[in-house]
Amino acid sequence: MSNTCDFQEPFDLFANWLEKAKELEPRDHNAMTVATTTTDGKPSARMVLLKDWDQDGFVFYTNFDSRKGQQLQNNMQAALLFHWKSMNRQIRIEGPVEVVSDELADDYFNSRPRDSRIGAWASQQSRPMEGRWVFEKEIAKYAAKYAVGDIPRPPHWSGFRVKPHFMEFWQDRKFRLHDRHIYLLNDEKNGWTKEVWFP
Ligand SMILES: Cc1cc2nc3c(=O)[nH]c(=O)nc-3n(C[C@H](O)[C@H](O)[C@H](O)COP(=O)(O)O)c2cc1C
């Protein structure tokens, strides 16, 4: 286990824990919960995959007409949560959200398997569907349309970047006497303030 106190800013620590998770978690070590809110402040949470990250933020991709997509466009704030059972650790990240550049979204979209790219066209994510057959018909339609050549990225499909203002690293310890290391973005200092909180 790394000593969390060694890190003056959260990114090296994040990299360290994510790398460890990759070794230990058999599937989707990059899975995270993303929480958003409705316009009237009701919370809503679901899993997504972290696809890119650096000091500017944490990126996931989705359908912008989905429930989360609509909620984010109305309130560009989100919370992310990683939990790795194999390590008894969690990381919380909170902050404002921005849309990634078309270039970055195109690059990631083009790296996806062909069927996933067809799926992005065929799925009206989070809207009611009369039956699975409707989805299958849409998949067949777009598979035929894009049978040859490149599949363009749908206009409703892109990435959101959560820009961290708050990060918490939580490590389980015996008798629930856990460690909580908090990093708060300090705009005045243009850096991070570190705190330790009661568990
Ligand atoms: C492990 C896991 C990873 C997922 N990754 C994504 C993802 O990267 N993007 C996405 O749109 N949905 C992903 N989903 C599906 C979402 O959890 C969710 O069902 C879907 O995006 C619709 O959510 P919404 O109605 O709140 O918009 C994932 C689900 C699981 C369980």
Q: DSSP labels for 137-151?
A: HHHHHHHHHTSSS--
Domain assignment present for residue 49? The answer is: yes
Q: Does residue 135 sit within a domain?
A: no
Q: Is the CB of 68 under 6 A from ligand 1?
A: yes
Q: How far is the CA of 186 from the centre of ligand 1 (A)?
A: 32
62, 71, 117, 160, best to mutate for ligand 1 pocket (most atoms within 8 Å of CB):
62
Determine whether the shortest distance from the Cβ of 66 to ligand 1 is under 6 A: yes
Cα–Cα distance measured from residue 81 to residue 98, given in angstroms and rounded to the nearest whole number:
18
Q: Is residue 8 part of a domain?
A: yes
- Is residue 127 in a domain? no
Amino acid letter, residue 103: E
Q: Which domain covers residue 85, as residue numbers?
A: 4-111+155-196
The alpha carbon of 14 and the centre of ligand 1 are apart by a number of angstroms equal to 22
* Cα(3) to centroid(ligand 1), Å: 33
Residue at 190 is within a domain: yes
Confirm or reject: Cβ of 114 under 6 Å from ligand 1: no
d(CA 25, CA 87): 9
Alpha-helix residue ranges (DSSP H) falling in 55-147: 67-74, 102-111, 114-122, 132-145
* Atom of ligand 1 at shortest range from CA of 51: 8
- Specify burial of residue 126 (Cβ count, 10 A radius: 0-12, 13-18, 19+): middle
User: Within a domain: residue 52?
Assistant: yes
Sign, CA torsion 95/100/104/108: positive
Catalytic residues: 176
Indicate whether 119 belongs to any domain: no
Burial track 90-107 (b if 16+ CB lie within 10 A, e otherwise) = bbbbbbebbebeeebbee
Closest alpha carbon to 157 in 96, 116, 199: 116
- For ligand 1, the distance from its centroid to the CA atom of residue 43, given in whole angstroms, is 16
Q: Is 11 helix (H, G, I), strand (E, B) or coil?
A: helix
Domain count, the chain: 1
pLDDT in tens, the chain (199 residues): 444 556 778 999 999 999 999 999 989 999 999 999 999 999 999 999 999 999 999 999 999 999 999 999 999 999 999 999 999 999 999 999 999 999 999 999 999 999 999 999 999 999 999 999 999 999 999 999 999 999 999 999 999 999 999 999 999 999 999 999 999 998 877 799 999 999 9
Contact call for residues 166 and 92 (beta carbons, < 8 A): yes
Does any domain span residue 118? Answer: no
Structure tokens at 58: 């944490």
Q: Read off the CATH number of the domain in which 37 is found.
A: 2.30.110.10
